[in-house]
Structure 1
Amino acid sequence: MRRYEIMYILRPNLEEEAKKATAEKAKSILTDNGAEIEKVDDMGKRRLAYEINDFRDGYYSVMYVNAETEAINEFDRLMKIDDTVLRFMTIVNEQQ
């Protein structure tokens, strides 16, 4: 298993329930594929560096995960087709 850091940005016009549902979906995608979630940081609503789909703000969240490559690939595949997600990025975190 490798350690990953995943950041995703949600649309700013989402209801609170939709934000929670998307966060739970992201966690369940990973845990259903054998990943272990160490920590989740919800950073709240922040200004984007540039407009994405006519949005100037977004809800940021960061997850620290131990996972196999297959779990990360499935997460990437499903987040690409989720219309509540503006952007996401997965990086390998080599620091222990």
Structure 2
Amino acid sequence: MPRRAREYETIYVLRPDVTREAQERIAARVSETVAREGGKLTNLENWGRRQLAYTVSKFRRGVYVYVRYLGNGALVAELERNLRMLDDVLKYQTVQLRADVDIDSVEVAPENVQFEAVEPATEAELEEPIERLLGLEQAPERERAPRPESEEGDVDLDAEEAAVGEAEEEES
């Protein structure tokens, strides 16, 4: 009788300054957890350092890792428990892709489960100007539309107000 399982994908985000060794150690821990819980790892990809949607633990960037595997709910719970215990993991999210998959029928290419670590971020990459973090950067100057002027060079407010009044009367 074929073994049945669900297909899941988990994306976890590591600190941007995590070392190559730590990245590889975490990926190995994920692989071991999937195997130990009777699952099958089908894809393990390092998506590299990317911008986060919002600041997490004072970081604006993170190293994204994508994991796809077959297993059951207990496997997901154990994998997330392991990720939660690691200080280098900022966030993780697991989604079920398919509900009923025959584990033995899924072929896995060896290159799909090889993990390649990225270089840790430098201090310059980690530090953003405080003005940018607080939203105080100087906004670019915009050109303003010219206002109607009277003959003396001053703005003719009466003419402008009359034009607005006429437009409102036409709408009614």
TM-score (norm: length of structure 1):
0.93
Identity among equivalent positions (%) equals 27
* Structure 2 counterpart of 1:19: 23
Over the aligned positions, Cα root-mean-square deviation in angstroms equals 1.4
Alignment of 1:85 onto 2:89:
yes
* Structure 1 counterpart of 2:135: none
Q: What displacement does 1:85 show? A: 0.3
Larger Rg: 2
Higher strand share: 1
* Structure 1 counterpart of 2:37: 33
Alignment of 1:48 onto 2:48:
no
Structure number with greater CO (CA < 8 Å, separation at least 6) is 1
Task: Give distance in 2, aligned partners of 1:27 and 1:3.
Answer: 15
Q: Structure 2: give runs of 5+ residues left out of the alignment.
A: 102-172
* Structure 1 counterpart of 2:69: 65
Q: What displacement does 1:74 show? A: 0.7
Q: Structure 1: give runs of 5+ residues left out of the alignment.
A: none
Aligned length: 96
Task: Give distance in 1, aligned partners of 2:87 and 2:81.
Answer: 13
Residues 29-55 of structure 1, C-alpha deviation per residue, up to 9 Å, x if partnerless? Answer: 111111101111210110111110001
Structure 1 segments, 4+ long, off by >3 Å, are: none
Higher helix share: 2
Task: Give distance in 2, aligned partners of 1:7 and 1:33.
Answer: 19
TM-score (norm: length of structure 2):
0.53
Aligned with 2:11 (options 7, 11, 17): 7
